[in-house]
Amino acid sequence: LPAVYSLDGLLVFGLLLVCTCAYLRKVPRLRTWLLSERRGIWGVCHKAAVIGTRLHVAVSVSCLLMALYVLVGK
């Protein structure tokens, strides 16, 4: 839990949230069940899924860069 309080931990958490929600949006049953709501915590997941699908190239590049930073830089 202390890693969430650092900037790199927060970035990793954000990237994992965006990637997970974008993946769940591709599954038809989960899309209607989980990501149909646009308010509250499910609204945050919906917005993260939209970011992940629209900016998939930038998200994947930043995931690769963050993985290299975590594996080599730390």
User: pLDDT tens digit string along 3-29?
Assistant: 557 888 888 899 999 999 898 888 887
SS3 content of the chain, % helix, strand, coil (to 5): 85, 0, 15
User: pLDDT tens digit string along 26-74?
Assistant: 888 777 777 677 788 888 888 898 899 899 999 999 999 999 998 998 7
CB neighbourhood size of 32 (10 A): 9
Question: Which of 64, 43, 51 lies closest to 18, judged by CA?
Answer: 51
Q: What is the pTM of this model?
A: 0.79
The pLDDT value recorded for residue 4 is: 58
Question: What 3-state DSSP class applies to 39?
Answer: coil
The pLDDT value recorded for residue 3 is: 58
